[in-house]
Structure 1
Amino acid sequence: MEPLLVKKHEKYFRMCLMSLPAKAQSEDSNKLAIIYFCVHGLDLLGKLNFTPTEQEQYSEFIYDHIINETIGNEEIQAFRPSQTFKLNKIDGTSSSPSYDLPNLAATFFGLITLLALNSNYGENDKIDRHKIMKFVSMLQLKDGPNKGGFKPVLGVDRTPFGECDLRHCYTALCIRKLLKYDELSKDDRKYDIDIDSIQKFLSDRISVNGGLSSNKYTEPHSGLTFCGIAALKLSGYDFKGNQSNWVDQTINWLVHRQVDYPSSVESYATEDYYYWDSNDIGGFNGRENKFGDTCYSWWCTASLKILCGNQGLQLIDSNAAQKYLLDNTQNKLIGGFGKDGETFPDPLHSFLALASLSMWKNSINSSFEVDGNSELGNIDELLVISSGSKDFLDKVIYI
C-alpha cells in the first residue's frame, strides 16, 4: 500500500489557501467552504502551525464575512460565502436590491473555521447567537409539503430562497450546536428552530430500501443519507425507539455501497459486466450501480459510525477501503486526493479522504501501518472537525 504523503498534502492545502488554479475561479462563491476544507485538513495532519498573530489575522478575515441586517423589526446575523458578494448593489444606487445574501452554509463554514483558528467567538462582540438563530429560523419552512425543511439563503426580498433538502437541515442543526443553543433552557432560546417538524421532514425522506433521499419515494443517496442521519442525531432523535426496521435496512444499504466484484473477476468483467474496473474495488459509491468516489468513503462510513459506533466500521473491508484511497485517488505528484484515480485533486475530496482515514485508523481494530498514518489526528464524525476543534468547542466556547 502507498504511504500517506503527509508533506505533499500539507503543501497542497497551503497552496489552495493562497491561490487556486484558473479552472477553479468559479468556486469563488464557495470560498469559506474551501477555507474550511483546507484549514481542517491541515489540522487533521497536525500541520496547522499558525502563529498567534496569524490566527488573529485569519480569524479577522473570517469575521469580515459577517452580514448584520435589520429585517422589519428583527435583527439577524449570518455569513456571506465570499467577499465578492459584498459588491451588492447592481447599479450602485441605494434603491437597487441587495444581492449580498445571508447564507446558511457559509454561516456554518465561518463558525467551524473559527474553531480551528482557536477564536473564541463566544466571548467577543462580533457574534450574536440569538441573531444568527433568528436568521436560521427564518429559513425553516413553516408549512407545505416541505414543512420543517430549510432553504439555503434569504433571497433578494429576504424570504427563504432555493431548493429544500437534507443538506440544509444538517447545516442548520450544526449551527445550533456550534452556538450551543441546544444547551440553553427553553425559555432562553429566543429564536429556536422547530425540532419536531425537522425530524418529521427527515423521517419522510427515509427510503424503502434504507438510506435517505432528497424527496419522498425517490432513490437514496449516500451524501444525503449522512446529512439526514447526522441531522437526526443532532436533533436528539431516538434511533432505537423510532427505528422500526429502517435503521437495519440503512446499515445494510450503506455496507453494500462498498464496491466489490465476485472472485472470478476475469470472466465477470468480460462476459457479465463490461464496466468492471479493478481500481474501483474498496471504494464506496453514492447510489446503486455507480463507480466509487473518494467522498463517499466518508459519507458511507461516517453514517455507519453514527448509527452503530465503532461496531459499524467492522462491517466494511477497511484494508480495501484504505488501499482505494492511498493507491488510487491520492495524487502522488502534488498531494491532495481526487474524486477518483483520473481526476485532479480538490480540497473537498482531499479533506474527506483524510477524514475517512483518520476515522478508520482510530475506530477500527485492524492494522493501519502505512507510513504517515501516525500523524493523522482524530475526527469528530458528527460535526466533521478535528478532535482538537471539538475540544475547543466543548471546553472554551461559552456563549
Structure 2
Amino acid sequence: MGELESDKHVEYILSIEKKKDDFDALLMEHLRINGAYWGLTTLDILHKISAVDPDEVISWVMKCYHDDCGGFGGNIGHDPHILNTLSAVQILALFDRINVLDAEMVSNYIAGLQNEDGSFSGDMWGEIDTRFSYCAICCLSILHRLNKINVEKAVNYIVSCKNLDGGFGCTPGGESHAGQSALAITGSLHHVDRDLLGWWLCERQCNDGGPNDGGLNGRPEKLVDVCYSWWVLSSLIMIDRVHWIDKDKLTRFILNCQDKENGGISDRADDAVDVFHTYFGVAGLSLMEYPGLKSIDPAYALPVDVVNRIFFGK
C-alpha cells in the first residue's frame, strides 16, 4: 500500500510560500487565504504547524480583513466573500487567536448575506449555493453566534435542495453533488434519509481495477478526485455509514496520488500536485484514522483538538 510521505508534504507546503511570483501562484492569487487554510491545516494534522510563525500568519490574515463590512477577501486588496471569511476564521482558530477579531462585525457580515428564503449569497453580487450555507453556519458556530441568523430557514433551504437519489444539489433542482451535505452542525440530520444518502455516497467509489481504483468521484460518471476523499467520507461519518465503503482501497488510492520525491498530493495518480488536494488527501486519511495523524472533525474541517478548544475550552 505504501506510506504517507509526511516529511515531503511538509516541505512542499512550506515551499509554496516562497513561490509568490511563479505562474501557478499568480493564477491562484485570489484564493490565497483558502490556500493558507488548506496548507496550515495539513501541517497541523501532520503535527508540524510549529514550522510557521503564527504572528506572521495572523498579521497577513488580518490584512485581508475589510473593517467597513466585516468580511475577508481572498488576498490583500481583494473583495470580501463568505468562502474567504470562513477560511480566515478557521486559520485564526488553528492558532487560538479568534480574539483578534471583531466577532460581532464578522457575524453581522455573514448574517447580512442570508436571503429571505433562508439561502446565503456568497458576497454582495448575490450568487447562491448551499456551500455558502455551510460556510455561514460553520463560521457562525465557531464564533458562537448562530443566533444571528434564521437557522430554521437556513435548514429548510438546504432540505429543499434534496433530490430523489438522497443527495443534495447546490440549489433546488440542481444535480446531487458530494460536496453539498452539511446539516450536522445545526442538529438537523433527521431531515436526511441516511440509508438512501449513504447508498448514493458509496456509489461514488470507483472499482475499475486501474491506477485510480478505490477513489471517489463527486457525481455519477465523473472522474475520481482525491478531494472527494474528504467530502464523501465526512458525510458518511456524520450519517454513520462510513463502514459501507472500502477504506483500504481508498487509502491506497490517496497514497498512489503522492509525489514521493517532491511532496504534495494530486487529484489523480500522476497528475500535478497542489495544496488543495494535499489537504483533502491528508484530511481524508485522518478521517480513516491513518497512523500518526491528528484526528479531524468531519463537520468543522478542523483538527478535533481545535474544535474541543473552541467549544469546551480544552
Aligned equivalent of 2:110, options 113, 131, 136: 136
Match of 1:378?
A: 295
Q: Which residue in the other structure is 2:37 paired with? A: 36
Q: CA deviation at 1:331?
A: 1.3
Q: 1:236 and 2:187 equivalent?
A: yes
- Which residue of 2 is the match for residue 78 of structure 1? 71
> Which residue in 2 is equivalent to 1:324?
253
Question: What pairs with 1:182-197 in structure 2 (closer than 5 Å)?
Answer: 182=146, 189=147, 192-197=148-153
RMSD: 1.8
Q: Aligned partner of 2:150: which letter?
A: D
Structure number with larger C-alpha Rg:
1
Q: How does 1:173-322 map to 2 (within 5 A)?
A: 173-182=137-146, 189=147, 192-224=148-180, 229-230=181-182, 232-237=183-188, 239-240=189-190, 242-243=191-192, 246-261=193-208, 278-308=210-240, 312-322=241-251
Q: Please list, as runs of the form range in 1=range in 2, the aligned pairs for 1:327-346 lying within 5 A after superposition.
A: 327=256, 329-346=257-274
**What is the CA-CA distance between 1:254 and the residue it aligns to?**
0.5
**Equivalent pair of 1:41/1:354 in contact (CA under 8 Å):** yes
1:18 Cα shift? 3.0
Answering whether residue 292 of structure 2 is matched by residue 393 of structure 1, we say no
Superposed displacement of residue 50, structure 1:
4.2
Q: How many residues align?
A: 313
* Corresponding position of 1:115: 93
Q: Distance in 1 between matches of 2:313 and 2:92?
A: 12
* Cross-structure match for 1:266: none
Whole-Å separation in 1 of the counterparts to 2:50 and 2:104: 33
Would the aligned equivalents of 1:42 and 1:48 in 2 still touch at CA under 8 Å? yes
Alpha-carbon distance between aligned partners in 1 of 2:170 and 2:311, rounded to the nearest angstrom: 32
Do structure 1's residue 127 and structure 2's residue 101 form an aligned pair?
yes
Contact 1:280 1:291 in 2 (8 A): no
Question: What is the deviation of 1:374?
Answer: 3.3
Q: Give the superposition deviation at 1:375.
A: 2.5
Q: Which runs of 4+ in 1 moved over 3 A?
A: none
Q: Which amino acid in the other structure matches residue 344 of structure 1?
A: A
Q: Please tell me the residue identity of whatever aligns with 2:29.
A: D
- Give the partner amino acid of 1:236: G
Identify the residue that residue 61 of structure 1 maps to in structure 2. Answer: 60
Deviations 1:282-338 (A, max 9, x none): 000111122211011111111000111xxx2211111111111112x1112211111
SS at 2:239 equivalent:
helix
Are 1:348 and 2:276 an aligned pair?
yes
Contact 1:313–1:360 (Cα < 8 Å) also in 2: no
AA aligned opposite 1:11? E
Measured after TM superposition, the shift of residue 24 of structure 1 is 3.4
SS in 2 for 1:358: helix
Structure 1, unpaired ranges of 5+: 70-75, 86-100, 155-160, 183-188, 262-276, 362-372
Q: Deviations over 1:45-87 (max 9, x none)?
A: 0111147xx2223212212221111xxxxxx4121211143xx
1:13 alignment counterpart: 13
Q: Which letter maps to 2:303?
A: S
User: Alpha-carbon deviation of 1:12?
Assistant: 0.8
Superposed displacement of residue 259, structure 1: 0.6
Indicate if the aligned counterparts of 2:3 and 2:255 stay in contact, CA closer than 8 A: yes
| C-alpha deviation, 1:395, in angstroms | 4.2
State whether structure 2 residue 108 is matched by structure 1 residue 167.
no
Report if aligned partners of 2:19, 2:25 keep a CA contact under 8 Å in 1: no
Counterpart position of 2:119? 149
Over residues 162-204 of structure 1, what are the superposed CA-to-partner deviations in whole Å (9 max), with x where a residue is unaligned?
Answer: 420111000001111110114xxxxxx5xx1111211111011
- SS in structure 1 at match of 2:66: strand
Q: TM-score, normalised by structure 2?
A: 0.94
- In 1, distance between residues paired with 2:26 and 2:292? 32
The equivalent of 2:28 in structure 1 is 27
CA contact (8 A) 2:130 2:171 kept: no
Aligned to 1:97: none
Whether the 8 Å CA contact 1:79–1:103 is kept in 2: the answer is: yes
Partner Cα distance (2:238, 2:18) in 1: 34
* Partner AA of 2:186 in structure 1: S
Q: 1:149–1:165: 8 Å Cα contact kept in structure 2?
A: yes
> Are the counterparts in 2 of residues 129 and 179 from structure 1 also a CA contact under 8 Å?
yes
What secondary structure, in the 3-state scheme, does the structure 2 residue paired with 1:18 have? coil
The unaligned stretches of length 5 or more in structure 2 are none
Per the TM alignment, residue 346 of structure 1 is displaced from its structure 2 partner at its CA by 0.8
Q: Secondary structure at the match of 2:70?
A: strand
Residues 329-358 of structure 1, C-alpha deviation per residue, up to 9 Å, x if partnerless?
Answer: 111221111111132111111001001101
Aligned residue identity for 2:262: I
